[in-house]
Amino acid sequence: MKSIGKFLQWSVVAAFIFVIVFWGNSYRYFIYALVCSSLLYFLFQKIILSKLGNGDGREVRYDANGKRVTMQGGKRIAFVVLLAAVYALIISVFSVSPSLERKEFTLTHPNWVATAPSFINFESKIHRGKTKYAYLNIEYRYTANGQLSLRKLDKAEKHYAFLPVMSQLRFEEIRTELLDRAKRKIADKECILFYNPQNPEQQMFFLSDDSFYPQGSWLYDILFVYLLLFLFIVIIAFLFRKDYNNRMKKSNSTIHYYHRTDYYENR
């Protein structure tokens, strides 16, 4: 029964990792994270092992619940945590830098052909779901292998808002910001299209070459919430710390006097 439960737990973990790695992100980022975390683990292995063993050299320890934890299990957990942290950092960096994302794609797809598409139409709309953002739909022509083709690309670019969007006016503002941005990038000829010459239907479109554009990342949308949460935790910790210090001062300022009667009674 325990083996079945353990199998189900690992199955859920594997499914979660699969969704995080391959849904919305390139598998290459996970490979980069795997290589970087392996190097970091190798470089700081002594420090990690000393923390796991607590400096006493024991191979088997017990957690707060009395569960047996081996050094080998601790190593695996430490590596998984390191891998998750490095992977989160990598996808965060690539998501806020269109220029870095374009360079990475160029290096990893040397056989793909780059071309400048001719835009027929582009429009900006609003997504009003749980996550609110403006997005850009484009329609363009391009020449691949001597043939002229037409394609429409939905949500070619997204624009998130730092503060929660509450009014129709703010919706219109972020929609207009994205539309004006697209017009500038098209006029400056920053847009580029990569296609596979063996299969022209395989394409990758880049609207801009900005080094830093956080509004295009979903992290920008949740940053405000996390900042509020962090501020709330800091305030609570400060209040508890202040209350603890006041209690300690009050306790130290109170002097208790004890009168020994047994000494005088026995004399």
Domain boundaries along the sequence of the chain? 7-95, 99-220
How many other CB atoms are there within 10 angstroms of residue 63's CB atom? Answer: 8
How many other CB atoms are there within 10 angstroms of residue 6's CB atom? Answer: 10
pLDDT for 107 beyond 90: yes
Could you report the per-residue pLDDT of 233-252, keeping only the tens digit for each? 878 877 777 766 677 666 66
Return the structure tokens found at 124. Answer: 């900006």
Alpha-carbon distance 108 to 101, whole Å? Answer: 11
CB 91 within 8 A of CB 207: no
Selected residue with higher pLDDT from 174 and 161: 174
Selected residue with higher pLDDT from 53 and 84: 84
pTM: 0.71
Closest CA to 123 of 176, 174, 170: 176
- Residue 219: the pLDDT is 79
